[in-house]
Amino acid sequence: MSRKTIQLTDALQAYLVEQTVTETEVMRRLREETDALPLAEMQIAPEQGQFMRLLVELLGARNVLEIGTFTGYSALWLVSGLPADGRLICCDVSEEWTAIARRYWAAAGVAHRIDLRLGPALATIDSLLHAGAAGTFDFVFIDADKENSARYYEQALRLLRVGGLVAVDNAFHGGRVAETAVTDEEAPHRGLNHAVCHDQRVAASLVPVGDGLLLARKC
């Protein structure tokens, strides 16, 4: 028993990944290639990917939206939790990073199940809503430009069915949300964490996995 979440030492982190994460070979190669990039910190942790796959499976999800795709590692985890007829829509603005994603999606044999839409995510979401997609998604993962996270959250609630789940990455901002010297502008998820956890439209929990994963189930 423990009255608080214990900190992960390097040894415990290594144990967690090596002994409990069931990464495919393609996932591992993509993670390692991304680790060598200048913006490698944008990639989620493998244990977070496995956790989100479990959430997708528990939801019985068929329609999933990812806002912010980078090199496609998180998308591989999400699509692996979907049934054969499930679909994943990915939103990103970078042709450079998503070119890497496409390569690994093809290697994993799932490229045909992922609909990558390049352009501002808010515009993509608006197009989905205008096409009648409100209330049709089971899971939405938000991991894009942090200043727009609150807007993505509101749009996600419109897309989700009742009982659907939205997950917001980087809820801890590397721990800066708890530092009093850091302004709300420097840690925009501080206000979002509070707002979501007190939003009567959802049941929420902030899970200390990766850089903090804020979960909200639509009531």
For the segment 38-96, what is each residue's pLDDT rounded down to a tens digit? Answer: 999 999 999 999 999 999 999 999 999 999 999 999 999 999 999 999 999 999 999 99
pLDDT reported for residue 1: 66
Q: Quote the domain boundaries for residue 182.
A: 10-218
Quote the CA–CA distance of 199 and 187 in Å, as a whole number: 20
Q: Is residue 5 part of a domain?
A: no
pLDDT reported for residue 214: 98
Q: How many residues does the chain have?
A: 219
Residue type, 78: L
Q: Is residue 126 part of a domain?
A: yes
For 104, counting Cβ atoms within 10 Å of its Cβ (0-12 exposed, 13-18 middle, 19+ buried), the class is: buried
Q: Is residue 3 part of a domain?
A: no
Q: Is residue 23 part of a domain?
A: yes
Residue spans of the chain under pLDDT 50: none
For 163, counting Cβ atoms within 10 Å of its Cβ (0-12 exposed, 13-18 middle, 19+ buried), the class is: exposed
Report which of 124, 126, 172 is spatially closest to residue 146, judged by C-alpha positions.
172
CATH code of residue 104: 3.40.50.150
Domain count, the chain: 1
Half-sphere exposure of 133 (CA within 13 A, CB side): 21
Which residues sit opposite 213 in a β-bridge? 207
Q: Is residue 213 part of a domain?
A: yes
The residues near 173 (Cβ < 8 Å, ≥ 6 apart) are: 146, 182, 187, 189, 190, 211, 212
pLDDT reported for residue 185: 85
Judged by DSSP in three states, 61 sits in coil
DSSP string, 81-146: TS-TT-EEEEEES-HHHHHHHHHHHHHHT-GGGEEEEES-HHHHHHHHHHTT-TT-EEEEEE-S-G
Return the percent helix, strand and coil in the chain, to nearest 5: 45, 20, 35
Which residue shows structure tokens 């979907």?
Answer: 82
Phi and psi, residue 141, nearest 5° = -110, 120
Q: Is residue 88 part of a domain?
A: yes
pLDDT reported for residue 184: 86
